[in-house]
Amino acid sequence: MVSESFDRVLVDVPGTGLGALRRRPEARWRRRPEDLDGFAPLQRALLRTALESVRVGGVVAYATCSPHLAETRAVVDDVLKREGGAELLDARPLMPGVPALGEGPDVQLWPHLHGTDAMYLALLRRTA
């Protein structure tokens, strides 16, 4: 992959899939707390690579099917803190008409509020 060659990148990271429990309830019996530790390095690496792949001013959408902070905000916050050169954008305007999106700037969708899986979205703009 060529560094700084894209305007936009969507990185839909693999993870525990805990956000899909309403459709796949049996998954709760296949997951253990230590599974989070196994996905964290990969999720961070994929987000870092995505940020390296966009030009300055380009945007990365980080998405995962999880409500767990270790797979959502913690990944984004850690990469922003350690790598620098990016800022978090408000993702809520991209979802007009969707209620209860929270305080932002990232979005966590919930089965009981949105009728979806528990999906997460953060938008990051590369600044340097």
Catalytic residue among 21, 36, 54, 65: 65
Distance CA(11)–CA(44), nearest Å, equals 11
Distance CA(28)–CA(46), nearest Å, equals 25
Active-site annotation holds for 65: yes
CA distances, 96 to each of 71, 91, 100 (Å): 25, 10, 11
User: Which residues are the active-site residues?
Assistant: 65
